[in-house]
Amino acid sequence: MASLQDIGVGAGINLLSALMFLLAFAILRLQPVNDRVYFPKWYLKGIRASPRKAGAFMNKFVNMDFRTYIRFLNWMPAALRMPEPELIEHAGLDSAVYIRIYILGLKIFVPIAILAFAILVPINWTGKNLDNITDLTFSDIDKLSISNIPPGSPRFWAHLTMAYVFTLWTLYILYKEYDIVSTMRLRFLASEKRRPDQYTVLVRNVPPDPDESVSRHVDHFFCVNHPGHYLSHQVVYNANKLADLVEKKKVYQNWLTYYHTKYERNPKTKPTIKTGFWGLWGKKVDAIEYYTAEIQKLGIEERSEREKVISDTNAIVPAAFVSFKSRWGAAVCAQTQQSRNPTIWLTEWAPEPRDVYWNNLAIPYVELSVRRLLMAVALFFLTFFFMIPIAFVQSLASIKGITKVLPFLKPLIERGGVKSFIQGFLPGIALKIFLIFLPSILMTMSRVEGLSSLSSIEKRTAAKYHLFLIVNVFFGSIIAGAAFEQLQRFLNESPSEIPRTIGVAIPMKATFFITYIMVDGWAGIAAEILRLVPLVIFHLKNTFLVRTEKDREQAMDPGSLNYSQTEPRIQLYFLVGLVYAVITPILLPFIIVFFAFSYLVFRHQIINVYDRKYESGASFWPDVHRRIIIGLIISQLLFMGLLSTKGAARSTPLLLVLPVLTIWFHRFCKGRFESAFRAFPLQDAMVKDTLERATNPTFNLKAYLQDAYVHPIFKSVESEEPLDPDDEDNNPIVATKRNSRLGSQSGSKPGSRGAQEDV
Amino acid sequence: MASLQDIGVGAGINLLSALMFLLAFAILRLQPVNDRVYFPKWYLKGIRASPRKAGAFMNKFVNMDFRTYIRFLNWMPAALRMPEPELIEHAGLDSAVYIRIYILGLKIFVPIAILAFAILVPINWTGKNLDNITDLTFSDIDKLSISNIPPGSPRFWAHLTMAYVFTLWTLYILYKEYDIVSTMRLRFLASEKRRPDQYTVLVRNVPPDPDESVSRHVDHFFCVNHPGHYLSHQVVYNANKLADLVEKKKVYQNWLTYYHTKYERNPKTKPTIKTGFWGLWGKKVDAIEYYTAEIQKLGIEERSEREKVISDTNAIVPAAFVSFKSRWGAAVCAQTQQSRNPTIWLTEWAPEPRDVYWNNLAIPYVELSVRRLLMAVALFFLTFFFMIPIAFVQSLASIKGITKVLPFLKPLIERGGVKSFIQGFLPGIALKIFLIFLPSILMTMSRVEGLSSLSSIEKRTAAKYHLFLIVNVFFGSIIAGAAFEQLQRFLNESPSEIPRTIGVAIPMKATFFITYIMVDGWAGIAAEILRLVPLVIFHLKNTFLVRTEKDREQAMDPGSLNYSQTEPRIQLYFLVGLVYAVITPILLPFIIVFFAFSYLVFRHQIINVYDRKYESGASFWPDVHRRIIIGLIISQLLFMGLLSTKGAARSTPLLLVLPVLTIWFHRFCKGRFESAFRAFPLQDAMVKDTLERATNPTFNLKAYLQDAYVHPIFKSVESEEPLDPDDEDNNPIVATKRNSRLGSQSGSKPGSRGAQEDV
């Protein structure tokens, strides 16, 4: 076990590495050549012009103004300077509320830490339980923890009282925050400008009709059942194949540009490629000619596919975006049941056009239900048995495994350097690769579940990742052993034994979690601000692909707040903090530093870097709230288990009150606030409608909504390759120039589309 | 353990007692004097006239036509003769669907029993595990059960396959039944005549407004937010005190009548009563004078209270019944969220006027939430710790306890007869009394929870009773010991150990459950048809209280289908049947007899006896479905536990598929059908509206709805004591003659009101 000194050294190292990252960031961000990596948000907003245009040649690439280097941390106050309303205006409510999670962490843990240091630490320090034990497994850290209290001591009453105080404080803060966020959301929704999704309802599972087309069927149904409110509708085309073709063409275009550039720089040798798998084998051909031909072929294919999609009635999926004359009408339709068969004519509030996940709109009810079952089973196995395939890969990656499968490599492997590399590095790599790919695996699983919007897919992914982190990182760290071994153990232990087993192990793992916080929380967050991967990719693209200013625009990758990965990680810190608040309070300052530092970094990133893929109006908050509640309940149960092994079993009934209270509080909050995140209240809809009718009575809503929910593949077509104008005018669903302007008004930038399709 | 012979004898005795009940019923029901006890439904419908009016004097009381006695079972085919559509018309959908539960039992268990007897019984019989054991604890029954298979035998594959077959069959039947019932419900709703609740929404938690009265506030809110649909509203008066007064006056009136009758029959002695507690002590006064004076006093009090309620604005609670111009408008309002604060302006589909539970309409959100928490905690303690107070009472009721508390009784108690009575009978009585009062206790708890309709209170009570029966009757019988001991045991056993412990005990308890089915299921149901308690009460009332034909009408107590008690009991049979289907198939015929016999009896009762307190359109079916699913899952887990102790642990993963599949099936059905029981689809509402507009375009809906949701205390007033007509006309909310006619049209009979107030 690490002593206080060890922790101090660890903290020093991690602080130093965090500082290094910050220093690197401070230097790199001042170089004009990196401007588009560190300030893409401003470019997207059109406020920042390329710095390359002005000044001396050298100044275009390297910042020679050395005075700016001195104030290398001045991004911090700058990040804090923007007030919240302006931040919402600038970055959207999702981002503004997201960084409130860090503030929430500070609000919860700062007072808890002060109380714990004032009351619990002195009580623990003078406990003297460990003074008599000269065992090496205890250290100074443990003297500050509950381990230092002798069994059956009346001092446990202090911890018990503090458990109550901490729980009540956390619940109080959670309630207030839920209140604030729901008010922010409602104000945000009320202040929003006219947006197509306010008038639109997504209708899924339109039943087939032998006499009518989907379009006419939808028209008739809503004319009859929402008379006076129904305005128009937009059918959904199955353009998945077309989107694939367009995507493929884009990739080929990039390669063509790359080889062109290469050829220009070195006109002596014509670049060649091999046509086989991944360009590794096959016939050698001239690269530029090959890609030109391929792109032409794809262009023809794409055009015929496009025509097929538009003319073929089978390409219309049984879903539609139905628009209403007023927000009131849309709110009513979204919240009510249309048909007596609740699996057809399913209505829900339409996601923003850029938030729609087009591939999933056509799935029928039974299939959806089966998909959910399969994914739930898959998630269970992924969470509890993921170590099995990894162990298998690791055994393959061992010396024995390799020599068995590929015996001819034997002489190579048994050389000293290679051998130690394989033994020391490969098994770790296998696990690391899995963990890197895990979010994408979970994301794919959520996509398969058939959700209809990107935001809901991200939320579902976050839920899955949260489960994985709790089981494998939190419990997996406390009780050594793979998750499925834990599972087996828990099945064979009594329910009252489980919290006891874990409770006993918890104080001993405090140093581990302190280290974890420093490595993952401090240095990891500092690495986030450096954006090393986007930096490298941008410069690669800039060198090989960028020919015009517009290309450079596209090469810029602002990234986005990766909610599905970062939120569950924050939850892990909440969980660790709540668990150790009573047991080892010395851990709390590390958590507080994490929350404060992350707040700074993410506020900076949101202001300067990240672009939004969608705006859900902070609809993720109920999940955040629920997961903190889960963390709180886990901490209460574990504390109960710990105390019962400490000769204070009589406290169990007293402590049992806490989880019951917490669950009740959760249900209370759910009833009190959650519907603000699910439904659009009629009163608010009516107010907005009335206001709008008064200020703009002649607005042509039908024209405004006509093409809002066209598949983006039909919108973005212009920017890449203008079609024959005759073609276009004949096809009402293909975006005309006016429409594409509307499209970008409603936030559908070409760049954001890519994210919808990278399955 | 009982042998086959013992079971045979038990079956004989119970069949005999059931037969005795049936015989008694057959004789009693033919006596004209009992006609109102056994055929009240027909009297209420006005189809059956009193048989006393015609025929010879003797024939009025005793049936002398001996030919009718011969066919003493001819009520059975008569009960079956009425086709289902007519039954729905006659007794309502609730009753018609309720008896389908018995049919569902037959559909599930008859094929299962046939399969089990064809396959499992021979396999068990030839298992020969018990042949070598000459232990007395095993009997012939066990030779037919899974106990007869030696551990690790491959014969368990048959049981495993059957577990799959039985589960799939049960799910298939459940799905089909859910489908049928939801179709029946929707057809019923569609075919219903115009009813006030179709146009009306119950609005709770109207926020206080300093400038406006509740009535004006409601009016303004719905005029603004549902323009074109809102019609009118009816505020709710807090008439609880008034209702108490009226109730009390009615009781006194009954006593007055009783003493009048007594005096008339024996004019020599004037009847006297004591004015003290329960008439046990206090001053002796003339009874008739006393009650006349009291009634007069109450009449004055009632009148002033009535005026106070009507004129005082504080008597208006923050709830209202809001009516709409069309069913579509009401359906929209009921299904949407009105305000951005989801705890105010809560709308729900209004219950029928007779179904409203008036006392609960005024509870604010926070209080409601706290009440639910308290009741949940109370239910937990009631279920798991109910034995503690009973044991305390039992110890008091023992010889020692009594001599300690009341030492002067000692000489009396220690006499032989009294002693054995106390020792052998009193402790049992304490438990029995508790069990008799349990449903009322649970009902009171559900009332306290603050539900707004009688039907929902009954449904909630049924859920509580179901939990109690599963824990205390099912698990309590299998594992001897009180529920809290079980709880403690389970907390200290591992989750995989619990099904094993119970699984092992299950085959041994088969004979117990067979006996239980015969006593509770066969003889108990036969006792139900005899209606002994209503019979006695009717004759008592008839002798002492009935003076006019109208009094006799009121003395008649048709009772009603006691859903909250009978449904959970049926569920117990489902549970026992599903658990034993694979383990001891010999139990199945007993269950089948129960279902078939109950079906007959309840069909007869529904046709001839029970009156409806409300009509919820079979809205309880999702609960029935869910509870059978719970039974199925319990049976699967217990079978898994049993097999794992039988050396067939490798089957566990195979068996784990079953509960996962069952839970998924439940979720699937929930999505597929449940909303048909919760919401009124807009399509159906629109069809009915259009139809009605076409057939009856000039109907005055406002007048029709004006007084539909007046508190029954203002409606029933006429029938008891006509008010001053001037008074009435000034008060628009007091029912006029036309309104009370409407009231009875919508089913609000004076008799049904009593049930709403006997808290």
Q: What is the pLDDT of residues A546-592, one digit of tens each?
A: 766 666 777 777 777 788 888 999 999 999 999 999 988 888 999 99
Residue, of A666 and A252, whose pLDDT is higher: A666
**pLDDT-above-90 percentage for chain A:** 14
Within a domain: B464: no
pLDDT band of B485, cuts 50, 70, 90: low
Q: Is residue B166 part of a domain?
A: yes
CB contact under 8 Å between B668 and A369, yes or no, is: yes
Highest mean pLDDT: which range of A721-730, B367-376, B381-390: B367-376
Residue A115 confidence (pLDDT): 92
Which carries the bigger pLDDT value, residue B255 or residue B63?
Answer: B255
Residues in chain A closer than 8 A to B366 (CB atoms): 668
pLDDT(B743) > 80: no
Q: How confident is the model at residue A211 (pLDDT cuts 50, 70, 90)?
A: confident
8-state DSSP, A34: G
CA distance A590 to A7: 11
Q: What is the mean pLDDT of residues A381-403?
A: 72
> Does some domain include residue A358?
no
Burial B145-183, CB ≥16 within 10 A → b, else e: bbbbbeeebebbebbbebbebbbebbbebbbebbeebbe
Give the nearest chain A residue to B365 (CA atoms). Answer: A672
Which residue has 């998909």 as its token pair? A371
The chain B residue lying nearest A682, using CA atoms, is B338
Picking from B672, B702, B727, the residue at the C-terminal end of a domain is: B672
Of the listed ranges A486-490, A546-550, A749-753, B320-324, the least confidently predicted one is A749-753
Residues A76 and A92 in one domain: yes
Q: What is the pLDDT of residue A720?
A: 44
Residue B143: predicted pLDDT: 75
If pLDDT is split at 50, 70 and 90, which confidence band does A342 have? confident
Q: What is the pLDDT of residue B88?
A: 86
**Residue from B230, B338, B501, B682 whose CB has the most chain A CBs within 10 Å, to mutate:** B682
Q: Which residue has the higher pLDDT, B422 or A462?
A: A462
The pLDDT assigned to A176 comes to 94
Q: Please judge whether B336 and A340 are an interchain contact, meaning their C-beta atoms are less than 8 angstroms apart.
A: no
How far apart CA A572 and CA A478 sit, in angstroms, is 13
- Pairwise CA distance, residues A620 & B259, whole Å: 71
Do A347 and A402 belong together in one domain?
A: no
Give me the mean pLDDT over the A614-622 stretch: 87
- CB atoms under 10 Å from CB of B423, counted, come to 12
Residues A204 and A318 in one domain: yes
Confidence of residue A738 (pLDDT cuts 50, 70, 90): very low
Given a cut of 90, is residue B573 above it in pLDDT?
Answer: yes
Report pLDDT for B746. 38
Range from B10-14, B605-609, B651-655 that averages highest in pLDDT: B605-609
Could B495 and A495 be called an inter-chain contact, meaning their C-beta atoms sit closer than 8 Å? yes
- Answer whether A338 sits within 8 Å of B686, measured CB to CB: no
Task: Please report residues of A whose CB lies closer than 8 A to that of B343.
Answer: 671-672
Region A40-61: mean pLDDT is: 60
- DSSP assignment letter at A741: H
pLDDT of A754 above 80: no
Where do the DSSP E strands lie in A574-672? none
Among the partner residues B377, B673, B683, nearest to A225 by beta-carbon distance: B683
Q: Which of A336, A494, A680 sits opposite B682 (nearest CB)?
A: A336
Mean pLDDT of chain B: 78
Q: A708 and A584 share a domain?
A: no
- Please tell me whether residues A29 and A134 are part of one structural domain: yes
Using pLDDT thresholds of 50, 70 and 90, give the confidence band for residue B227: confident
Residue A349: predicted pLDDT:
86
Residues in chain B within 8 Å Cβ distance of A186:
340
Looking at CA atoms only, how far is residue B664 from chain A in angstroms? 7
Q: Please determine, for residue B185, whether its predicted confidence score (pLDDT) is greater than 80.
A: yes
A-chain residues within 8 Å CB-CB of B365? 671-672
**pLDDT at A19 (0 to 100):** 82
Q: Tell me how many degrees the CA angle B713-B714-B718 measures, rounded to the nearest 5.
A: 100
| Cβ-based contacts of A343 with chain B (< 8 Å) | 671-672
Task: Select the residue of B335, B342, B668 nearest A335 (Cβ to Cβ).
Answer: B335
Identify the pLDDT of residue B179. 92
A538 pLDDT higher than 60: yes
**Over 60: is that where the pLDDT of A54 sits?**
no
Residue A493 three-state SS = coil
Domain's final residue, options A609, A636, A666: A666
Mind telling me how many Å the CA of B175 is from chain A's nearest CA? 14
Contact B192, B185 (CB under 8 A): no
Same domain, B399 and B511: no
- The answer to whether position B459 is within a domain reads no
pLDDT for A216 equals: 87
Same domain, A285 and A401: no
Domain that holds residue B515: 4-192+477-672
DSSP SS3 for A351: coil
Q: Do A494 and B497 touch (CB under 8 A)?
A: yes
User: Which of A666, A693, A715 corresponds to the end of one domain?
Assistant: A666
> Shortest Cα distance from A673 to chain B (angstroms)?
7
The pLDDT, as a whole number, for residue B633 is 94
Q: Are the Cβ atoms of A681 and B490 closer than 8 angstroms?
A: no
**Residue A685 binned pLDDT confidence (cut-offs 50, 70, 90):** confident
Q: What is the pLDDT of residues B69-99, one digit of tens each?
A: 666 666 777 777 888 888 888 888 888 999 9
Cβ contacts of A188 on chain B, cutoff 8 Å: none
Average pLDDT estimate for B275-284: 67
Residues 6+ apart with CB under 8 A from A15: A518, A522
Contact at CB, B336 and A339, closer than 8 angstroms: no
Answer yes or no: is A512 within a domain: yes
Do B250 and B343 lie in one domain? The reply is yes
B491–A490: do the CB atoms touch at under 8 Å?
A: no
The distance of B221 to chain A (nearest Cα, Å) reads: 9
Chain B residues whose beta carbon lies within 8 Å of the beta carbon of residue A684: 340
Closest-CA distance of chain A to residue B676, Å: 6
Q: Report the DSSP beta bridge partners of residue B322.
A: B201, B233
Beta bridge partners of A347: A203
Contact between residue A496 and residue B491 where contact means Cβ atoms under 8 Å apart: yes
A683/B343 CB distance under 8 A: no
CB contact under 8 A, B491 and A492: no
Flag whether B265 is in a domain.
Answer: yes
- B605 and B507 within one domain: yes
Choose among B124, B123, B99, B144: nearest CA to B1. B144
Q: Is B260 left (phi over 0), alpha (psi -120 to 50) or beta?
A: alpha
Question: Bigger pLDDT: A553 or A719?
Answer: A553
A428 and A328 in a common domain: no
Residues A513-532, mean pLDDT to the nearest whole number: 81
Question: Across the interface, which of B336, B343, B495 has its CB nearest the CB of A491?
Answer: B495
Q: Which of the residues B204, B340, B366, B488 would you substitute to probe the A interface, choosing the one with the greatest number of A C-beta atoms within 10 Å?
A: B340
The token pair that represents A93 in the structure block: 């409510």
Residue B714 has pLDDT above 90, yes or no: no
Amino acid letter, B739: N
* Interface probe with B: pick from A217, A222, A226, A336, most Cβ of B within 10 Å: A336
B675: closest CA of chain A, how far (Å)? 6
Is the pLDDT at B131 greater than 70, yes or no? no
Q: Inter-chain contact A342–B497, Cβ cutoff 8 Å?
A: no
Residue B367 predicted with pLDDT over 80: yes
Nearest to A684 among B340, B366, B495 (CB): B340
User: Which residues in chain B touch residue A496, judged by CB atoms under 8 angstroms apart?
Assistant: 491-492
Contact call for B226 and A682, based on CB within 8 A: yes
Q: Are strands A284-286 and A230-237 parallel, antiparallel or unpaired?
A: unpaired
Are B497 and A492 in contact (CB < 8 Å)?
yes
The mean per-residue pLDDT over the stretch A426-442 comes to: 79
Structure tokens at A647: 């000769």
A338 and A393 in a single domain? The answer is: no
Contacts of B175 in chain A (CB under 8 A): none
Kindly tell me if the per-residue pLDDT of A120 is higher than 80. Answer: yes
End-to-end CA separation in angstroms for chain B: 45
Task: Tell me, yes or no, whether A204 and A186 share the same domain.
Answer: no
Quick: pLDDT tens for B306-331.
888 777 777 788 888 999 888 888 88
**Domain assignment of residue A759, yes or no:** no
What's the Cα-to-Cα distance from A116 to each of A260, A588, A635, A657, rounded to whole Å? 66, 9, 16, 21
Interchain proximity A495–B490, CB inside 8 Å:
yes
Could you report the per-residue pLDDT of B590-642, keeping only the tens digit for each? 999 999 989 988 888 888 888 877 888 888 999 999 999 999 999 998 888 88
- Inspect the interface and report whether the beta carbons of B686 and A225 lie closer than 8 Å: yes
Question: What pLDDT does A420 receive?
Answer: 66
Helices marked H in A280-326 — which ranges? 287-311
pLDDT more than 70, % of chain A: 79
CA B568, B569, B572, B574 torsion-angle sign: negative
Are residues A343 and B671, on separate chains, in Cβ contact within 8 Å? Answer: yes
Give chain A's mean pLDDT: 78
Q: Which residues of A599-628 are buried (b: 16+ CB within 10 A; e: fewer)?
A: bbbbbbbbbbbbbbbbbbbbbbbbbbbbbb
Q: Mind telling me how many Å the CA of A384 is from chain B's nearest CA? A: 15
| Closest in A336, A340, A373 to B336, CB measured | A336
| Range picked from A259-268, B197-206, B313-322 for highest mean pLDDT | B197-206
| Cα–Cα distance for residue pair A105/A600, rounded to 1 Å | 13
Written as one string, the DSSP assignment of B462-494 is HHHHHHHIIIIIIIHHHS-S-HHHHHHHHHTS-
The pLDDT assigned to B484 comes to 62
What is residue B104's predicted lDDT score, i.e. its pLDDT?
Answer: 94
Residue B36: the pLDDT is 74
Query: Is there a contact between B305 and B311 (Cβ–Cβ < 8 Å)?
Result: no
Residue A106 to chain B, least CA–CA distance (Å): 28
> Using CB atoms, which residue from A340, A672, A683 is nearest to B683?
A340
Per-residue pLDDT at B217 exceeds 60: yes
Taking an 8 Å cut-off on Cβ atoms, the answer to whether A332 and B331 are in contact is no
pLDDT at A729: 39
CA of A185: which chain B residue's CA is closest? B340
User: Which residues in chain A have their CB less than 8 angstroms from residue B224's CB?
Assistant: 686
User: Residue B340 is nearest to which of A225, A671, A676, comparing CB atoms?
Assistant: A676
Under an 8 A CB cutoff, do B672 and A342 touch?
yes
Statement: residue A350 has pLDDT above 60: yes
pLDDT over 70, % of chain B: 79
Average the pLDDT over each of A69-73, B404-408, B660-664, B680-684 and give the range with the smallest value. Answer: A69-73
What stretch of H or E contains B618?
none
CB contact under 8 A, B342 and A674: yes
Residue A137 has pLDDT above 80, yes or no: no
Q: Label the pairing between strands A230-237 and B346-349.
A: unpaired
Q: How many domains does chain A have?
A: 3
CA distance, residue A451 to nearest chain B CA (Å): 15
CB atoms B492 and A494 under 8 Å: yes
Per-residue pLDDT at B285:
76
How far apart (Å, rounded) are the C-alpha atoms in residues A232 and A220?
Answer: 11
In a domain, A492, yes or no: no
Cα–Cα distance measured from residue B711 to residue B748, given in angstroms and rounded to the nearest whole number:
11
Mean pLDDT throughout A649-653? 72
